[in-house]
């Protein structure tokens, strides 16, 4: 959510990385500060979607396509990103974000992707 929460969590013994979720992030500046303080290797950004649309408090990102947000956070220094559509959670139908993940790869956006939502086993991956 903000730099204070991220630093306190990162200082907890055993915590290797902090997940910064789009749905709880209040500003782009907060993400920049977290990246600066913790370093990109300790930050995982979660691109939180609902039915394919960004779930965000940040007005500038609510109307952007998810791919544009992925490009922006990569330019800011994010190197790991969870791609999660919250509408998929608990459905056991597999993630609906596969086309987005493929496009991120096709564009060679330098992000290590972590998929989530609706995954019940290896066949969904």
- Name the residue with tokens 């060679």: 108
What are the pLDDT digits (tens) for 50-62? 999 999 988 888 8
Distances, alpha carbon 9 to alpha carbons 34, 65, 66, in Å: 11, 30, 27
Give the mean pLDDT of 110-120: 83
pLDDT of residue 1: 78
CB 74, CB 105: distance < 8 Å: no
Q: Which residues pair with 114 in a beta bridge?
A: 82
Residues 6+ apart with CB under 8 A from 45: 19, 20, 22, 31, 73, 78, 80, 81, 82
**Over the stretch 20-47, which tens digit does the pLDDT of each residue have?**
999 999 899 999 999 999 999 999 999 9
Q: How far apart are CA 26 and CA 91, in angstroms?
A: 28
pLDDT of residue 96: 85
pTM of the model: 0.90
* pLDDT of res. 90: 75
Q: What percent of the chain has pLDDT over 70?
A: 94
Give the tens place of pLDDT for each residue, 83-97. 999 888 777 777 788
């Amino acid at each position: 959510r903000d730099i204070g929460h991220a630093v306190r969590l990162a200082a907890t013994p055993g915590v290797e990385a902090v997940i910064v979720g789009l749905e709880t992030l209040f500003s782009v500046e907060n993400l920049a500060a977290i990246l600066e303080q913790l370093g990109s290797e300790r930050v995982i950004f979660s691109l939180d979607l609902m039915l394919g649309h960004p779930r965000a408090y940040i007005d500038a990102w609510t109307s952007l396509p998810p791919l544009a947000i992925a490009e922006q956070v990569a330019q800011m220094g994010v190197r790991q990103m969870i791609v999660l559509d919250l509408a998929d959670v608990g459905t056991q139908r597999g993630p609906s974000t596969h086309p987005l993940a493929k496009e991120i790869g096709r564009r060679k956006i330098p992000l290590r992707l972590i998929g989530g939502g609706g995954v019940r086993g290896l066949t969904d991956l």
